[in-house]
Chains A and B, each alone.
Chain A
Amino acid sequence: MVDVRYETAFTLYPYERSADQDAQSPARHPVVIVGGGPVGMGMALELGLKNVPCVVLDDHDGVGVGSRAICFAKRTLEICDRMGAADPMVDLGVVWNVGRVFRDERQIYDFNLLPEEGHKRPAFINLQQPYFEKFLVERIRAAQAEGAPIEIRGKNRVLSVDSHDDHVVLEVDTPEGPYRMEADYMVACDGARSPVRTMLGHDFTGRVFEDNFLICDVKMTADFPTERWFWFDPPFNRGQSVLLHKQPDDIWRIDFQLGWDIDRKAVVQPEYYMPKVQAMLGEGVEFEPEWVSVYTFQCMSMDEYRHGRVFFAGDSAHQVSPFGARGCNGGIQDVDNLGWKLAAVIKGEAGERLLDTYQEERKHGADENILNSSRTTDFMTPKTEIAKLFRESVLDLVEHTDAMRPLVNSGRLSVPCVYDGSSLNGADDASLPQRTRVGATLVDAPTDQGWLIDRIGGRFQLFTVNSEFKPEGLDLDLVDVIVAPDDLIAERYLGGAEQAVYLIRPDQVIAARWVNPTTADVSAALKTAMGG
């Protein structure tokens, strides 16, 4: 039996009997991915497009209901772009730039994010998580049709995991009974409550925040502007905060902070939330509730994201509070980081050591995400009297001076971390711009042949700016651009230098850079970036 744990919004991969269920001895697969959420599906797509055979096991047959992760940041869209999945997301997603912050009944300030020019993708989009997952699965279907070796098995629930030195044995339940299979590598993308993590007995530690949030997705056609509105202490939710976000399909997401001592069953009843939403939207505004849920949150992490042949990615490895949209966005960056490494090791292009750098780099990313979202949470839910006094003082002052605005923290934009100090980093020339230093992710800019982000990625490449350098005898794609001093490429990649050469990893991270390298320099950096 495979229990139904949640309602699905779309059925995308109904149960089908697989040949593995009739095999005499367990079938061995290069990669088995456990969990068919955004991280699991992203992982499958990334590996499949690199021609690495993988099987996704999901205990449901589609995508769960509810908006959940609704903010998809630019980096996520760029990664999805590389996998050919971003266009439908951006076409449907809502882009906003203006935010307003209210306190009690007053607007205390507004801001315009004024996105930096010269990027293909916006800073982020609002999109319900079920759509994000559906677009990934649709892209997987298209890739399968072109021969990508991806298999999705719905209603396949992992019962046990047995981890060996060079493989993993899984017992999997289905509506037709259990079967066994083996994997050279396994990636657990089975969420914050990860059954795989529990089966293998790994700890998940961190901070639990004593607060509850009520999410109401409501359908409303009233003429509200496409803006992010945030309230401290409004009349319709005294002493707490409220966030209003627009999503596609005229759905508005409202997050009510409720505090710690609440009746979790009572708050999801219409008698409780309908008057609250009505008071917030205004008398006479018509709306329909679509999805209501209450959640608490925690910032937790495993110590190690790799245990032999088993990897943890996304919420199963690290969980953050929702402020700042670093959960799903962080998980997709795990995919970005692990995908090429796993593919390189499976194809024999790199040694096992490269896989250890997944832990090194993504733990660094997760720590940064946890730090940022914890700080936001501490501002929104002050834990001590003095913290509350400072928070109130910031809000008192911000109505009188812009100087305090940077201290108001209702969520920070999700941006990728820089892998400063990573063991994969090669030579860096500090005279080049700080922003595109070694360890940073490629910064997009327009070129004479389209967006830079569309020209680089998926393999190691050498990106040269105003340079005639060509590596002798190295199997490296060359992307060479010639720019004028006032071009954005010059600003972002040259600074004051006349020319530059950048070595870029398959995940679009800058591996090394020089003003004027030799082939030996590039060769050495390439070796380092492949794990030495």
Chain B
Amino acid sequence: MDKLFTPNIEDADGFYAELLAAHEGLSEAESHALNARLVLLLSNVVGDRDVLSRAFELAKQAG
């Protein structure tokens, strides 16, 4: 299963609500910083360099 192309988040609606709640009350700069820390933490969870490289590629392509 390629997790870049397969839904994998448990309780997707709950996750999304929590993500937005984490940003509540933050300034734009603070939100940027929070996002950056999240990317670093979650990248560590992913670990696999190939997956991370392909994630960068996919995210850029979708923009």
Contact = CB atoms under 8 A, between A and B. Distances in A.
Interface in A396-435: 396-397, 399-407, 409, 412
B9 A386 contact: no
B23 interface: yes
Given A375-B17, A386-B23, A387-B23, A401 B58 contact: yes
Given A386-B26, A406-B9, A407-B9, A400 B16 contact: no
B48 interface: no
Among B3, B13, B19, the one with the most A-chain Cβ atoms within 10 Å of its Cβ is B13
Contact count band on A: 20 to 34
B52 interface: no
B13 A372 contact: yes
A124 B3 CA distance: 32
A396 B20 contact: no
A384 interface: yes
A38 B63 CA distance: 47
A397 B62 contact: yes
Nearest to A374: B17
Contacts of A387: 20, 23
A402 B5 contact: yes
B59 interface: yes
A378 B23 CA distance: 14
B50 interface: no
B61 A400 contact: yes
A252 to B, nearest CB: 28
Contacts of B6: 402-403
Contacts of A399: 62
Among A375, A396, A401, A409, the one with the most B-chain Cβ atoms within 10 Å of its Cβ is A401
Nearest to A385: B28
B12 A407 contact: yes
B43 to A, nearest CB: 16
B28 to A, nearest CB: 7
A396 B8 CA distance: 18
A330 B24 CA distance: 30
Interface in B29-57: 31
Interface string A369-388: 00010010011000011110
B13 A375 contact: yes
A409 B20 CA distance: 14
Given A386-B23, A386-B31, A401 B16 contact: no
A372 to B, nearest CB: 7
A448 to B, nearest CB: 38
A390 interface: yes
Contacts of A406: 7, 9, 12-13
B34 to A, nearest CB: 9
A403 B7 contact: yes
Interface string A234-246: 0000000000000
Given A386-B26, A387-B23, A409-B13, A396 B63 contact: yes
A412 B13 contact: yes
A403 B12 contact: no
Contacts of A402: 5-7
Contacts of B4: 401, 403
A379 B16 contact: yes
A403 B13 contact: no
Contacts of B19: 390
Interface of B: 3-9, 12-13, 15-17, 19-20, 23-24, 26, 28, 31, 58-59, 61-63
11 contacts: A375-B13, A375-B16, A384-B20, A387-B20, A390-B16, A399-B62, A401-B4, A401-B58, A402-B6, A404-B7, A407-B12
Given A386-B28, A407-B16, 10 more contacts: A372-B13, A375-B17, A385-B28, A387-B20, A397-B62, A401-B4, A402-B6, A403-B4, A406-B12, A409-B16
